[in-house]
Copies of this chain bind each other. A is one copy, B any other.
Amino acid sequence: MAMTGVLRPGHVALRVTDLDAGVKHYRDVIGLMETGRDAQGRVYFKAWDEHDHHSVVLREADSAGMDYMGFRVDCEETLERLAAAVEGSGLATDLQWIGAGEQLHTGRRFRFTVPTGHAMELFAHKDKVGNGMPDVNPDPWPDDLKGMQPTRFDHCLLYGDDLDGTVKLFTEVLGFQVAERVMAGDTMVSAFLTCSTKPHDIAFIRHPEKNRFHHCSFILGSWGDVLRAADIISKKDVSLDIGPTRHGITRGETIYFFDPSGNRNEVFSGGYIYYPDKPVITWTVEDLGRAIFYHDRKLNDAFLNVHT
């Protein structure tokens, strides 16, 4: 098989300070489908073109932020192999197996903390619930879509201290590649990592604190959908960060905004097709503004300083 090992970002578990407000945001503004609630009160969502039961899990907590992010691997053997490799690497801490069923409709998960302080998970099974259309003679999109109508949860951008350690773990143990990076002289200050043909499946920025969450991102069908998302943000009085604009990194067309608890979200479209033999794109830190916001060519204050 040509796609092996880690297949994709499978879920992100977020803390929100007001669950009802969070549900309204992820369901009515972003337009995810609510697929379940569990005994702990967690609420599960999926984007419309995902077949798995969920890709976003919300729980109410005293502070916003990300609990963990999970990656779908191709099979149980890969799960065991990668769990052993993570353990053997000595790069991760807090290793544990979470039993099947702890998340609704989800098999066992191997959890570990990467050097930047973020909890990551690998799992090989989640129940399929379909994308709202039959597998025989389907239409191109289902009826009754709402909000921004992203097709999939795409990636997270995370801030943390030991960027080198986390990049080492993702590339040498989990099979990711660095598609793009930002360098301050010889120091890598940011890495955009892929396990697929997408320009990024996860990204990190060097930051003095451990375990900070910058944003989770959902993919849209077109630049026209980014405009529609921007209009929805204003129509529904959602807090905008920046956009519509283009990233230099990944070339994606993007808009950033905040959920009611202050967690940053992105919806975006575009970007190139990545292959493992593509040269790494390097951005110099002097050109960081253009790398992040290609049109403005400067960072807004929030980008570096607001995270949860």
Question: Footprint of B on A, CB under 8 Å?
Answer: 1-8, 49, 51, 72, 74, 128, 130, 135-141, 143, 151-152, 175-177, 194-198, 219, 221-224, 227, 230-231, 233-235, 240, 243-246, 248, 251, 253, 255, 270, 272-273, 275-284, 287, 290-291, 294-297
Residues of B within 8 A of A248 (CB): 137-140
Residue pair A279, B2 in contact (C-beta under 8 Å): no
Number of copies: 4
Nearest CB on B from A28, distance (A): 11
Nearest CB on B from A63, distance (A): 27
List the B residue with the shortest CB-CB distance to A293: B234
Residue pair A295, B244 in contact (C-beta under 8 Å): yes
List the B residue with the shortest CB-CB distance to A281: B135
CA distance A177 to B273 in the complex (A): 19
Residues of B within 8 A of A296 (CB): 240
Residue from A135, A195, A244 with most neighbouring chain B CB atoms (10 Å): A244
Nearest CB on B from A77, distance (A): 14
CA distance A286 to B205 in the complex (A): 38
Residues of B within 8 A of A277 (CB): 7, 51, 72, 74, 128
| Given A3-B2, A8-B275, also A230-B246 (CB < 8 A) | yes
CA distance A211 to B7 in the complex (A): 34
Nearest CB on B from A125, distance (A): 9
| Given A51-B279, A223-B222, A284-B137, also A234-B4 (CB < 8 A) | no
Residue pair B282, A175 in contact (C-beta under 8 Å): no
Residues of B within 8 A of A221 (CB): 270
Residues of B within 8 A of A1 (CB): 4-5, 175, 177, 276
Q: Could you show 8 A-B contacts with beta carbons less than 8 Å apart?
A: A1-B276, A2-B3, A2-B4, A2-B194, A197-B198, A222-B223, A240-B297, A255-B295
CA distance A283 to B244 in the complex (A): 23
Specify which of B8, B151, B195, B251 is in contact with A140 (CB 8 Å cutoff).
Answer: B251
Specify which of B7, B136, B278 is in contact with A284 (CB 8 Å cutoff).
Answer: B136
Residue pair B290, A137 in contact (C-beta under 8 Å): yes
Nearest CB on B from A298, distance (A): 10
List the B residue with the shortest CB-CB distance to A270: B221
CA distance A164 to B287 in the complex (A): 47
CA distance A138 to B177 in the complex (A): 19
CA distance A273 to B152 in the complex (A): 9
List the B residue with the shortest CB-CB distance to A142: B235
Specify which of B49, B194, B233, B255 is in contact with A272 (CB 8 Å cutoff).
Answer: B49
